[in-house]
Structure 1
Amino acid sequence: MNLSYLDPKIDLVFKRIFSRADLLKDFLNAVLPLDAPVETLTYLPAEQAPQIPGMRFSIVDVKCHDQSGQVFVVEMQMLWTDAYFSRILFGGAQAIVNQLFSGAPYQSLCPVYSVTVLNDVFKQDANEKDCWLHHYKITKLADPGDILQGLQFVILELPKFTPQTQVEKRVTALWLRFLREAGKPDFVPDESLLSYAPVADAVKLTEFAGYSAVEIENYQKYLDALRNEKSVLLDAVTKGRTEGRTEGQTEGRIEGRIEGRTEVARNLLPLLDDEAIAQVSGLTLSAIKKLREGA
């Protein structure tokens, strides 16, 4: 009997899987460049992180800390915009600030890992086409080995993942393959996925039969909303570029480029912050501010 499997990257399923501390612990140990393995996990209450306008359905997160107090902010990000960098910076900083109770010394602060599992590509550079793990630390420019401890960011690009080393071909590959492949219409878990108990348990938690009719309905609504978000973002950029090209043909290349960039920025005003719009459109922050004031 063939079973249908839900997408583990979608809110309802992701949280069901990674609300199990044993599975989240195994996943973190498999994919993160940790100095020491995580042995125990305790979940933290969700803070009120800022939502990126128009991106409410593409972000799912889980927060926890390990036996040493080290904090992990784990997010599943379905779509990518440049504004997301601002969000992960905020989330990482917030995870530090929220540790400090009134009167507590700064020395009591524990390190924070911000972990993003990304079902999209944000590094288009040809030199990084095979680089699926991006690890950021705060370093001294003159001496990169001099690291300011306390906050690190890890971004995993699922579409780029292809196992290369023996380590990646084992547990790391199993978890990332599961996240990338499960939920596709033709997904059938193979023996390698089912032979490793934590991943096999995660596969079991994606089975269609394990969800109620109400949960399936909410799952479908979430998928529809996610598709809508993606369409809005693509339409905004495509429309601006198309109108820019048309304008350039009729009124001159320079005017067309400016108008095209302006239209891109105008379409993105309700979706992104000013810095992200500037990166996408090529306009200055002052020009975007004027557009926002006139909107």
Structure 2
Amino acid sequence: MEKITPKVDIAFKKIFGVEENKDLLIDLINATVAPEDQVVEVTILNPYNPKSFSNDKLSILDIKAVGQTGKRFNIEIQITDESDYDKRALYYWAKLYTEQLKVSQNYATLNKAIGIHILNFISITDSKKYHNVFHITEKESGLPYFTDLELHTIELSKFSKD
């Protein structure tokens, strides 16, 4: 009998994306994000990103959730190396962020959106770290400006038990 690994989408979703295991999802988020982004409660959302027009691309996230303060989370597991995965991660983040705003709502109501991408391949060849966190900053000074954008990559191939 073969073992089922949490690296497989369906198993990952069953472990982290169901109400019965919400505590595991909270632990996964909190083990990944900074102290200021920790959650004590999450609501698991419909993973389908709605299409505005018939010719829009349909995207289905592995796990989509919102924390008690309104911060939004997308957690993805990706086994195979797909070209342009960085663009896919950013696209998913953009959908997660923009779907918050409804008609006549002020931009101030937008909450931070955090993408957590667990990869079973090496995506960031210029870093030896297995966990990288990306933000938008000013090129020369490193000054953060767009604080609502945060993308994490966790590259399992780089993880060492040491």
1:51 and 1:74, CA in 2 relative to 1: closer, same or farther beyond 3 A? same
Counterpart Cα distance in 1 of 2:42 and 2:74: 12
1:205 equivalent in structure 2 = none
Counterpart Cα distance in 1 of 2:86 and 2:105: 29
The correspondence of residues 151-162 of structure 1 with structure 2, limited to 5 A, is 151-162=149-160
How far residue 25 of structure 1 moved from its aligned partner, in angstroms, is 0.3
How far residue 132 of structure 1 moved from its aligned partner, in angstroms, is 0.4
1:134 and 1:109, CA in 2 relative to 1: closer, same or farther beyond 3 A? same
Counterpart Cα distance in 1 of 2:40 and 2:146: 25
Counterpart Cα distance in 1 of 2:58 and 2:81: 13
Tell me the number of residue pairs that the alignment of Structure 1 and Structure 2 aligns. 153
Deviations 1:27-74 (A, max 9, x none): 11112234242110001112348479xxxxxx9610001010000000
Deviations 1:4-39 (A, max 9, x none): 631111122111101221110011111223424211
Q: Partner letter of residue 136 of structure 1?
A: F
1:21 and 1:86, CA in 2 relative to 1: closer, same or farther beyond 3 A? same
The correspondence of residues 24-39 of structure 1 with structure 2, limited to 5 A, is 24-39=25-40
State yes or no: 1:93 paired with 2:91.
no
1:51 and 1:122, CA in 2 relative to 1: closer, same or farther beyond 3 A? farther
* Long gaps (5+) in structure 2: 51-56
Deviations 1:164-215 (A, max 9, x none): 5xxxxxxxxxxxxxxxxxxxxxxxxxxxxxxxxxxxxxxxxxxxxxxxxxxx
- With structure 1 as the length reference, what TM-score do the two structures score? 0.48
1:9 equivalent in structure 2 = 7
Residue number among 141, 145, 149 corresponding to 2:143 in the alignment: 145
Larger-gyration structure (1/2): 1
**Over aligned residues, Cα RMSD in angstroms?**
2.2
Select the structure that is richer in helix.
1
* Long gaps (5+) in structure 1: 53-58, 165-295
1:108 and 1:48, CA in 2 relative to 1: closer, same or farther beyond 3 A? closer
The correspondence of residues 1-295 of structure 1 with structure 2, limited to 5 A, is 5-18=3-16, 19=18, 20-48=21-49, 50=57, 61-125=62-126, 128-129=127-128, 131-163=129-161
SS at 1:144's partner residue? coil
- With structure 2 as the length reference, what TM-score do the two structures score? 0.84
1:148 and 1:60, CA in 2 relative to 1: closer, same or farther beyond 3 A? closer
